[in-house]
Amino acid sequence: LTGMQVLGVPGADIVRFQFSPGSLTPARPPVGSLDVATPPFTEGASGRPIELDGDQALQVVFRGMSLQNDVGQETFSGERQSRWADPSRSLRHAIVFDESEGQMGWYIGYDGPACVTLTREGDDVLVAITFGPGR
């Protein structure tokens, strides 16, 4: 995982997780999961509480990844937390809750009813939060 980008398009917020080509020495193929997240929201091993903005919450976890490239540099250099307050959007908060031992987990908070889909576009994984009329 090299980056995370948020795109607002009419009727949807899209969280794009950007991936680079695989490591020269992969341990195993990486996998990911998308689930509903329920409180209490906590940081990985520390268990410290996380205040997540939004009425609804998702948990996205990528496992089996290299968190460093083949020369020892961190692969993800982006923001570990972002917040949005635009009333015309649903997305409110995205925050890393775990980044250890080949795993990176994110909580995504959003408001209102929505349909959530997961797709791939090349090496990237997209989480689309499609919201209804009135947003």
**pLDDT at position 16, please?**
94
**What are 46's two structure tokens?**
């520390």
Cα angle for residues 2, 121, 22 (degrees, 5° grid):
45
**pLDDT at position 109, please?**
97
Helix (H) or strand (E) holding 18, with range, is strand 12-18
**pLDDT at position 74, please?**
79
| Low pLDDT (below 70) residues in the chain | 22-29, 69, 132-135
**pLDDT at position 19, please?**
84
**pLDDT at position 64, please?**
82
